[in-house]
Protein backbone atom coordinates (compact mmCIF):
# COMPACT_ATOMS: atom_id res chain seq x y z
CA UNK A 1 0.00 0.00 0.00
CA UNK A 2 1.17 3.51 -0.78
CA UNK A 3 2.23 5.60 2.20
CA UNK A 4 0.45 8.86 2.89
CA UNK A 5 1.10 11.96 4.96
CA UNK A 6 0.82 11.15 8.66
CA UNK A 7 1.84 7.50 8.32
CA UNK A 8 4.83 6.27 10.27
CA UNK A 9 7.78 5.80 7.93
CA UNK A 10 8.61 2.07 7.88
CA UNK A 11 11.73 1.26 9.84
CA UNK A 12 14.34 -1.01 8.27
CA UNK A 13 17.94 -2.16 8.45
CA UNK A 14 20.01 -1.85 5.30
CA UNK A 15 23.50 -1.60 3.88
CA UNK A 16 24.47 1.81 2.55
CA UNK A 17 27.55 3.37 1.00
CA UNK A 18 28.41 4.57 4.53
CA UNK A 19 27.80 1.28 6.32
CA UNK A 20 24.80 -0.53 7.75
CA UNK A 21 22.04 1.52 9.35
CA UNK A 22 18.83 1.09 11.27
CA UNK A 23 16.70 3.79 9.66
CA UNK A 24 14.82 5.22 12.65
CA UNK A 25 18.00 5.20 14.73
CA UNK A 26 19.83 6.92 11.88
CA UNK A 27 17.21 9.69 11.76
CA UNK A 28 17.40 10.20 15.52
CA UNK A 29 15.95 13.57 16.51
CA UNK A 30 16.49 15.07 13.06
CA UNK A 31 14.28 15.53 10.04
CA UNK A 32 15.10 13.34 7.03
CA UNK A 33 14.67 13.21 3.27
CA UNK A 34 14.64 9.78 1.61
CA UNK A 35 14.77 9.99 -2.19
CA UNK A 36 14.68 6.89 -4.36
CA UNK A 37 15.99 5.81 -7.74
CA UNK A 38 14.97 2.95 -10.06
CA UNK A 39 18.51 1.88 -10.95
CA UNK A 40 22.15 2.93 -10.84
CA UNK A 41 23.81 4.63 -13.82
CA UNK A 42 20.62 6.37 -14.98
CA UNK A 43 21.11 9.87 -16.41
CA UNK A 44 18.43 11.92 -14.66
CA UNK A 45 19.19 10.34 -11.28
CA UNK A 46 22.90 11.05 -11.78
CA UNK A 47 22.15 14.77 -12.02
CA UNK A 48 19.88 14.61 -8.97
CA UNK A 49 22.40 12.86 -6.73
CA UNK A 50 25.07 15.37 -7.70
CA UNK A 51 22.80 18.34 -7.01
CA UNK A 52 21.77 16.98 -3.63
CA UNK A 53 25.45 16.70 -2.71
CA UNK A 54 25.95 20.34 -3.69
CA UNK A 55 23.06 21.65 -1.60
CA UNK A 56 23.45 19.25 1.33
CA UNK A 57 24.73 22.13 3.53
CA UNK A 58 21.31 23.77 3.13
CA UNK A 59 19.64 20.65 4.50
CA UNK A 60 22.16 20.45 7.33
CA UNK A 61 21.40 24.06 8.32
CA UNK A 62 17.78 23.00 8.76
CA UNK A 63 18.62 19.95 10.84
CA UNK A 64 17.74 17.58 7.98
CA UNK A 65 19.59 14.38 7.04
CA UNK A 66 19.40 13.19 3.44
CA UNK A 67 19.68 9.63 2.19
CA UNK A 68 19.33 8.10 -1.25
CA UNK A 69 18.11 4.68 -2.32
CA UNK A 70 18.59 2.74 -5.54
CA UNK A 71 17.44 -0.72 -6.56
CA UNK A 72 20.94 -2.15 -6.84
CA UNK A 73 23.54 -3.44 -4.37
CA UNK A 74 25.85 -0.97 -2.63
CA UNK A 75 28.83 -2.22 -4.61
CA UNK A 76 27.27 -0.84 -7.77
CA UNK A 77 26.52 2.42 -5.92
CA UNK A 78 30.22 2.88 -5.20
CA UNK A 79 31.04 2.71 -8.91
CA UNK A 80 28.17 5.10 -9.69
CA UNK A 81 29.45 7.61 -7.12
CA UNK A 82 32.63 8.04 -9.17
CA UNK A 83 30.56 8.82 -12.27
CA UNK A 84 28.43 11.30 -10.32
CA UNK A 85 31.48 13.18 -9.10
CA UNK A 86 33.07 13.18 -12.55
CA UNK A 87 29.99 14.44 -14.41
CA UNK A 88 28.32 16.65 -11.77
CA UNK A 89 31.32 17.99 -9.89
CA UNK A 90 30.05 16.72 -6.53
CA UNK A 91 30.24 13.23 -5.04
CA UNK A 92 27.38 12.18 -2.78
CA UNK A 93 28.19 13.28 0.79
CA UNK A 94 25.33 11.28 2.27
CA UNK A 95 24.54 7.55 2.33
CA UNK A 96 22.90 5.70 -0.54
CA UNK A 97 20.90 2.61 0.42
CA UNK A 98 21.26 -0.66 -1.46
CA UNK A 99 17.84 -2.23 -2.06
CA UNK A 100 18.84 -5.26 -4.09
CA UNK A 101 16.08 -7.41 -2.58
CA UNK A 102 13.42 -4.70 -3.17
CA UNK A 103 12.37 -4.89 0.49
CA UNK A 104 12.48 -1.17 1.19
CA UNK A 105 10.87 -0.21 -2.12
CA UNK A 106 8.04 -2.61 -1.29
CA UNK A 107 7.69 -1.34 2.29
CA UNK A 108 7.37 2.22 0.98
CA UNK A 109 4.79 1.25 -1.63
CA UNK A 110 7.03 1.93 -4.63
CA UNK A 111 7.10 -1.66 -5.96
CA UNK A 112 4.50 -4.40 -5.80
CA UNK A 113 4.73 -7.25 -3.32
CA UNK A 114 5.16 -9.73 -6.19
CA UNK A 115 8.45 -8.24 -7.43
CA UNK A 116 11.37 -10.65 -6.96
CA UNK A 117 14.53 -11.94 -8.58
CA UNK A 118 17.92 -10.51 -9.43
CA UNK A 119 17.88 -6.68 -9.64
CA UNK A 120 20.44 -6.84 -12.47
CA UNK A 121 17.79 -8.54 -14.61
CA UNK A 122 15.46 -5.56 -14.25
CA UNK A 123 15.70 -2.34 -16.23
CA UNK A 124 15.09 1.17 -14.94
CA UNK A 125 11.75 1.06 -16.72
CA UNK A 126 10.82 -2.04 -14.71
CA UNK A 127 11.44 0.00 -11.54
CA UNK A 128 10.14 3.34 -12.82
CA UNK A 129 7.83 3.75 -9.82
CA UNK A 130 10.87 4.03 -7.51
CA UNK A 131 11.07 7.81 -7.98
CA UNK A 132 9.68 9.14 -4.70
CA UNK A 133 10.75 11.80 -2.23
CA UNK A 134 9.71 11.32 1.40
CA UNK A 135 10.17 14.05 4.00
CA UNK A 136 10.09 12.50 7.47
CA UNK A 137 9.84 14.38 10.76
CA UNK A 138 11.66 13.71 14.03
CA UNK A 139 8.53 11.85 15.13
CA UNK A 140 9.19 9.43 12.23
CA UNK A 141 5.92 10.49 10.56
CA UNK A 142 5.79 11.19 6.83
CA UNK A 143 5.27 14.92 6.20
CA UNK A 144 5.53 15.03 2.40
CA UNK A 145 5.44 12.57 -0.51
CA UNK A 146 6.46 13.58 -4.03
CA UNK A 147 6.39 11.17 -6.99
CA UNK A 148 8.23 11.99 -10.22
CA UNK A 149 8.43 10.23 -13.60
CA UNK A 150 11.82 9.03 -14.82
CA UNK A 151 11.92 11.67 -17.54
CA UNK A 152 11.62 14.67 -15.19
CA UNK A 153 14.36 15.70 -12.81
CA UNK A 154 13.24 16.54 -9.31
CA UNK A 155 13.20 20.09 -7.91
CA UNK A 156 15.06 19.81 -4.63
CA UNK A 157 14.92 23.57 -4.09
CA UNK A 158 11.17 23.03 -3.72
CA UNK A 159 11.83 20.32 -1.14
CA UNK A 160 13.86 22.86 0.87
CA UNK A 161 11.01 25.38 0.58
CA UNK A 162 8.49 22.84 1.84
CA UNK A 163 10.76 21.91 4.74
CA UNK A 164 10.93 25.60 5.70
CA UNK A 165 7.13 25.65 5.75
CA UNK A 166 6.84 22.35 7.64
CA UNK A 167 9.25 23.45 10.32
CA UNK A 168 7.64 26.87 10.72
CA UNK A 169 4.11 25.51 10.94
CA UNK A 170 5.19 22.77 13.36
CA UNK A 171 6.27 25.45 15.83
CA UNK A 172 3.65 28.15 15.22
CA UNK A 173 -0.12 28.18 14.73
CA UNK A 174 0.09 29.27 11.11
CA UNK A 175 -0.12 27.96 7.55
CA UNK A 176 1.79 29.16 4.50
CA UNK A 177 0.03 30.40 1.33
CA UNK A 178 0.74 29.59 -2.31
CA UNK A 179 4.38 29.96 -3.40
CA UNK A 180 5.36 31.09 0.11
CA UNK A 181 9.04 31.60 0.89
CA UNK A 182 10.58 32.43 4.28
CA UNK A 183 9.95 35.99 5.37
CA UNK A 184 6.64 36.39 3.59
CA UNK A 185 3.29 36.75 5.35
CA UNK A 186 1.51 33.66 6.65
CA UNK A 187 -2.07 32.66 7.44
CA UNK A 188 -3.42 32.04 10.92
CA UNK A 189 -4.30 28.34 11.17
CA UNK A 190 -7.99 27.51 10.88
CA UNK A 191 -7.82 25.65 14.20
CA UNK A 192 -7.17 28.96 16.02
CA UNK A 193 -10.28 30.89 17.08
CA UNK A 194 -10.38 34.67 16.85
CA UNK A 195 -10.19 34.92 20.64
CA UNK A 196 -7.07 32.74 20.68
CA UNK A 197 -5.62 34.67 17.75
CA UNK A 198 -5.98 37.99 19.59
CA UNK A 199 -3.82 36.63 22.39
CA UNK A 200 -1.09 35.60 19.95
CA UNK A 201 -1.41 38.58 17.59
CA UNK A 202 -2.61 41.51 19.74
CA UNK A 203 -1.99 43.95 16.86
CA UNK A 204 -4.62 42.11 14.79
CA UNK A 205 -4.45 40.78 11.28
CA UNK A 206 -5.50 41.48 7.71
CA UNK A 207 -8.78 39.72 6.91
CA UNK A 208 -9.90 39.83 3.26
CA UNK A 209 -12.39 37.09 4.21
CA UNK A 210 -13.27 35.76 7.67
CA UNK A 211 -11.46 32.50 6.89
CA UNK A 212 -8.31 34.24 5.56
CA UNK A 213 -6.41 35.91 8.40
CA UNK A 214 -3.00 37.19 7.31
CA UNK A 215 -0.14 38.05 9.67
CA UNK A 216 3.61 38.61 9.35
CA UNK A 217 5.68 35.45 9.56
CA UNK A 218 7.06 34.69 13.03
CA UNK A 219 10.68 35.65 13.42
CA UNK A 220 12.75 32.49 13.21
CA UNK A 221 16.16 31.50 11.97
CA UNK A 222 16.90 28.48 9.83
CA UNK A 223 18.10 25.62 12.03
CA UNK A 224 16.07 26.64 15.07
CA UNK A 225 12.76 25.38 16.41
CA UNK A 226 11.41 22.29 14.68
CA UNK A 227 14.54 22.06 12.54
CA UNK A 228 16.63 21.32 15.58
CA UNK A 229 14.33 18.75 17.19
* CATH number of residue 57's parent domain: 3.40.30.10
Residue 228: the pLDDT is: 37
Residue 219: the pLDDT is: 83
How many helices (H) and strands (E) in the chain?
A: 6, 11
Residue 109: the pLDDT is: 97
Residue 2: the pLDDT is: 82
CB atoms within 10 A of CB 122: 17
For residues 129 and 204, membership in a common domain is answered with no
Angstrom distance (rounded) from CA 120 to CA 112: 17
45 is catalytic: yes
Residue 188: the pLDDT is: 98
The range of the structural domain enclosing residue 214 comes to 172-228
The rounded Cα 161 to chain-centroid distance in angstroms is 11
Extract the residue ranges of the chain whose pLDDT is less than 70: 1, 221-229
For residues 25 and 129, membership in a common domain is answered with yes
Alpha helices in the chain (DSSP H): 23-27, 43-61, 74-88, 103-107, 156-171, 194-200
Which residue out of 14, 27, 44, 45 is catalytically annotated?
45
Amino acid sequence: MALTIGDTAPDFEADTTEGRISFHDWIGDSWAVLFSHPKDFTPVCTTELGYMARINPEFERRGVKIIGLSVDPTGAHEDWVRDIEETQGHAPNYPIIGDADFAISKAYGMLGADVSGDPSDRTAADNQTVRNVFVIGPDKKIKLVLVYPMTTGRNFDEVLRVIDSLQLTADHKVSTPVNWVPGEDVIIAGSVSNDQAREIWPDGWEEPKPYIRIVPAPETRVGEGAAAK
